[in-house]
Structure 1
Amino acid sequence: MSKLLKLGVAEGMPSECWELAFNRLNEDDLKSVSLVCKDFLATSNLVKKRLKPKHLDVTLLSRHLKRFTQLKEIDFRGFKGNLDEAICEMARSSGLVCLETLCFAGKSFKTQSLRKLGSNPNMKKNLKHLNCGGTKRLHDKDLVVIANLFPNLEQLNIKNFRPTAGKHIFTDYGIESLASKLKVLKKLFIAGAHLFTDQSVIALSLNCAFLEHVVIHGLPKVNDSVKVTEHGIGLLRNRPNLKHLSIARINKSLSNITIENSISHAKSLISLCFYCMDISDKLLMEIGKAKLQLKRFQIVFCRGFTGSGLCMLDYKYLHHLCIRNHFNAEILDLDEGIREIILKGDDHVANLTCIDISSFEVTTSTLFLLSTKCCSLVEIRFCGAKLSGQDNNIPLSKNHKLQKLHLCHSDDITDELLEQIGHILPSLKLLSLDGCFRVTSRGIEAILKSCKYITELNLRGYTKAKMMEANSEVAQVNLEELILEDSAIDDEGLAVIATKCPQLVHINLRGCREVTTNGIKQMVKNIKTLRRFTVGSDSEKVSVELLEWMLSTGYLASLKEIRFPKQTILTKGLKEAFMDRGCIMYFG
């Protein structure tokens, strides 16, 4: 970069060219180039499209709103200050001419603050996406304000927590207000203990002509929660544009309109998800007969279906299949059903890129069949799966496309199995062995030796002191992210990691009680690439000592983020010293 500047190339190139180049940079790289010269600072200010305020001081937000004039999204999820003051600051801003997306997820704000925000003509005209998911105080009056002041909303998230003191958060009245005013609404997410019924769904189906993505989830064990029935869901067939439907805890109905006899009308549907419901083989058969071009199909924590029912679905267009178990529910002949789906022929599952079969009992042979027969598969999730015996007569071939493998919380994952996986899946980039207590350094070394492209490894709960042996055949690996949370790794094991994983960008040592400050110091001396680091010790003394050592020695100059246990207390001076070096601290 300095050579370019010396040659005068930077000054000679039009700013539009630099904008095109800067648009390809991530947030961290954009910060770096903004420090090069005033011209780059000005250009990077124009290119920045997303802002995630964190600092308590709202005046800093005010300066950012003036500095970054082309913002399209502001995400307040990590904001530590007063959200009402921040919203009022946005309302007063004369900029924000490009802002389309606001995220207040998990926060609380006053209705009056929403009214002030809607008084800003740019906000009223341009706001398209509003995320209030997890907001604790969202009532009918708030939905009425949203409906009246932000008429151009295309996406609205009003998923919320349980109500306090037994009071519901909003009702049919609020939903009907949204349906009557938000004429261009495309995506709506509703979840929580809200007192609304089929009346709300009918209003949405009749008034929101462009509705294409609907999520309606009730909460468990909440009296008078969502009272939407199959009758209401069935009437969504009035929306020919409906592409995505996700429903949870929907009640049966005495009406002759059901999901079974309505699903064939949803010709545009490409994503269908059921949560915590009774799903019959008859419903699965009707979905298959409808010949929908489904790309995503999920059955999560549901009962009532069998492996034979799953075989009746049309998998021709499917990209993502998810079947998750709950409370050890027995699903008859599931393993046989999955095998039958795979063996129907390559064309039957030709487009399948991700499969998630969690907490069911399946055979190791099924895992290997998926790996070798599904030619487009990129990701497999077998979290909590009980892997039983293997059929040695199945011919196995290598799959060079599969990149992500999750084998979490399984007592059946052994070193021998990892060795086999390493031979079959040489192109793996992500491997998660979270909670696999039988795995040792032998299995990890074997798979890292065979799968040279693995950059992310999750060993949360690992029970051994060493991930790799110092004298192993594995020289250096390409790991960039390593999760060792709650593991038995000690200082000696950490030293081996520092030697064999010199390209680490993120390491998580939370809950690693055998790791000491001296062990961490020795590790960071060998790793110059760390950008994110999660401190393992719960001791405030250890955290302070480590940070002061980092400041005094200059190690970890590349560090951008440190996470501490929630109860850690650090001095204001220490926090500011790291902030001045571009490093943000998180707690919890």
Structure 2
Amino acid sequence: MAAPEGGQRIAINDALTDDELRAVLARLEREVDRDAFGLVCKRWLHIQSSERRVLRARAGHAMLLRMADRFPGLVELDLSQFASRSFFPGVTDSDLGAIATGFRSLRVLDLRECKGVTDVGMISLGTGLHSLQCLNVSGCRRVTDKGLVAVSLGCSNLKSLYLANCKLATDKLLEALSKNCHHLEELGLAGCVKITDSGLSILADGCKYIKSLDVSKCSKIGDIGVSRVAEVCTSLKSLKLLDCGNVTNNSIISLSQSCVNIETLVISGCHNVSDESIRSLALDCGPNLKVLRMEWCSKITDLSVSVVLQNSRNLVALDIGCCDHVTDSAFQALGISGTSGLRVLKISNCPRITVSGIDTILQSCKSLEYLDVRSCQHVTKQSCYQAGLQFSEGCKVNFNGSLSESDSLDETYF
């Protein structure tokens, strides 16, 4: 209650309009404070609900229908499932039907690892969510071209589509995206093993504005498809080709000639990539390159690492693990190029790197946050201590552990 001087007390709900209350709600940054706002009274709860734009929830047909009534302005819905975030029975096609009819303004939908979803649910989304811009169905292994093509037909405003490990997706989907989704900017196809160069080439013809493409572990992808994407999608900033064994120097040279704004490149396990193309990449794209991952590239030598370090002043993460031709000499370029902004350096299982090379790295990389030297036989905690090396407090050094272990930084940077 508010009491003006010499006057009668006035209830705050009588004093403030809905727009003024919305202005108050907009100033609350913490989610807990926004939730507390809605507990004041039914009017404030209605205002809070109408202003809510993002929701992370569990599934359930009835629950979703109630949420649709309560949150009419919702634009982002997260129903993803993981080992640490799972619920029974999970998302079903019926749930997707409720979403398609109840959340007509939805622009972002996350269904990662919702393994119960099928083409029936995808068809519902394509029919009802015409405003959808981002869809993540990674790990939804029962989804096929039939459902995904329906999404591409009904959701022509799609900008981001992620379907990692949707092994039933084929080139038919890429053809549909090329015809209907001309605004597509991000496409994740990692583990979609039926995708081929032909499909990738067709995709590029219609989706010229792709900025991020992940075809990791797509064994049928090679130079023809990658080169075509590079030639047409000149705005490309991120390309991931992990374990694409058919990719050679031709792909990387095409990329360096056409996509000078590339910031992230993953070519790990591309055994046919050598110094020739990496030199071209560093000279043409060096100023913009931020993340380069090329572990298990057996033909990479000191020349590649040196030219990258000399020409990529904005590089923040570099992985050259298991490149057994790389020696301490590769890091002399750090002194030539000045203080490096590298924050992550992974050189695990590089048998020719010694404590001397680590010393050179530490002298130049003052911003280093993580250094991976696992299975480097000449670099141990004891040998670094005996050499008097000083690691900064902010730098985590990984001396031990299996190379098969994943690291949280992989997802952050690579």
Q: TM-score, normalised by structure 1?
A: 0.52
**Given the alignment of the two structures, is residue 189 of structure 1 paired with residue 56 of structure 2, yes or no?**
yes
Report the Cα distance in structure 1 between the residues aligned to 2:41 and 2:294, rounded to whole angstroms: 46
Give yes or no for contact 1:218–1:225 (8 Å, CA) kept in 2: no
What SS does the aligned partner of 2:62 have?
helix
Please list, as runs of the form range in 1=range in 2, the aligned pairs for 1:122-201 lying within 5 A after superposition: 125-126=36-37, 184-190=51-57, 197-201=60-64
Report the Cα distance in structure 2 between the residues aligned to 1:300 and 1:315, rounded to whole angstroms: 19
Residues 117-174 of structure 1 deviation map (CA, whole Å, 9 limit, x = unaligned): x8xxx675459xxxxxxxxxxxxxxxxxxxx6899999xxxxxxxxxxxxxxxxxxxx
Report the Cα distance in structure 2 between the residues aligned to 1:320 and 1:513, rounded to whole angstroms: 40
Identity, in percent, stands at: 13
Structure 1 pair 394–123 and aligned structure 2 pair: CA distance change class (3 A) = closer
- 5+ unaligned residues in a row in structure 1: which ranges? 1-96, 103-117, 128-147, 155-178, 539-588
What SS does the aligned partner of 1:205 have?
helix
Please list, as runs of the form range in 1=range in 2, the aligned pairs for 1:507-586 lying within 5 A after superposition: 507-509=370-372, 511=374, 512=376, 514-516=378-380, 519=384, 532-537=394-399
Find the partner of 1:426 among 283, 286, 289: 286
Find the partner of 1:321 among 181, 187, 196: 187
Give 1:475's aligned residue. 336
Structure 1 pair 385–126 and aligned structure 2 pair: CA distance change class (3 A) = farther
Structure 1 pair 124–312 and aligned structure 2 pair: CA distance change class (3 A) = closer
Give yes or no for contact 1:296–1:320 (8 Å, CA) kept in 2: yes
Report the Cα distance in structure 2 between the residues aligned to 1:246 and 1:316, rounded to whole angstroms: 21
Structure 1 pair 336–425 and aligned structure 2 pair: CA distance change class (3 A) = farther
Find the partner of 1:209 among 55, 72, 76: 72
Find the partner of 1:100 among 5, 29, 36: 29
Give the deviation of 1:388 after TM superposition. 3.7
Report the Cα distance in structure 2 between the residues aligned to 1:461 and 1:152, rounded to whole angstroms: 62
RMSD value over aligned CA atoms? 4.2
Give 1:364's aligned residue. 223
Structure 1 pair 271–459 and aligned structure 2 pair: CA distance change class (3 A) = same
What SS does the aligned partner of 2:104 have?
coil
Structure 1 pair 368–246 and aligned structure 2 pair: CA distance change class (3 A) = same
Give the deviation of 1:244 after TM superposition. 0.6
Report the Cα distance in structure 2 between the residues aligned to 1:360 and 1:152, rounded to whole angstroms: 53
Give the deviation of 1:406 after TM superposition. 2.1
Deviation >6 Å, runs of 4+: 148-154, 390-396, 470-474, 520-523
Structure 1 pair 252–342 and aligned structure 2 pair: CA distance change class (3 A) = closer
Give 2:114's aligned residue. 249
Structure 1 pair 430–150 and aligned structure 2 pair: CA distance change class (3 A) = farther
Please list, as runs of the form range in 1=range in 2, the aligned pairs for 1:361-510 lying within 5 A after superposition: 361=219, 362-388=221-247, 397-427=257-287, 428-463=289-324, 466-469=327-330, 475-476=336-337, 478-484=340-346, 486-488=348-350, 489-498=353-362, 501=364, 503-509=366-372
Residues 273-311 of structure 1 deviation map (CA, whole Å, 9 limit, x = unaligned): 112223322333323322521121111211322113212
Give 2:211's aligned residue. 353
- Aligned residue-pair number: 361
Give 2:10's aligned residue. none
Give the deviation of 1:367 after TM superposition. 3.4
Report the Cα distance in structure 1 between the residues aligned to 2:174 and 2:259, rounded to whole angstroms: 25
Give the deviation of 1:382 after TM superposition. 2.0
- Alignment-mate amino acid for residue 534 of structure 1: K
Q: TM-score, normalised by structure 2?
A: 0.71
What SS does the aligned partner of 1:341 have?
helix
Give yes or no for contact 2:200–2:226 (8 Å, CA) kept in 1: no
Report the Cα distance in structure 1 between the residues aligned to 2:198 and 2:310, rounded to whole angstroms: 33
Give the deviation of 1:439 after TM superposition. 2.9
Give yes or no for contact 1:435–1:461 (8 Å, CA) kept in 2: yes
Structure 1 pair 252–397 and aligned structure 2 pair: CA distance change class (3 A) = closer
What SS does the aligned partner of 1:321 have?
strand
- Alignment-mate amino acid for residue 74 of structure 2: L
Give the deviation of 1:483 after TM superposition. 1.5
- Alignment-mate amino acid for residue 353 of structure 1: K
What SS does the aligned partner of 1:457 have?
strand
What SS does the aligned partner of 2:56 have?
strand
Structure 1 pair 271–480 and aligned structure 2 pair: CA distance change class (3 A) = same
Give 1:225's aligned residue. 88
- Alignment-mate amino acid for residue 249 of structure 1: C
Give 1:267's aligned residue. 130
More strand by share: 1
Structure 1 pair 451–371 and aligned structure 2 pair: CA distance change class (3 A) = farther
Give the deviation of 1:236 after TM superposition. 1.4
More contact order relative to length (CA 8 Å, sep ≥ 6): 2
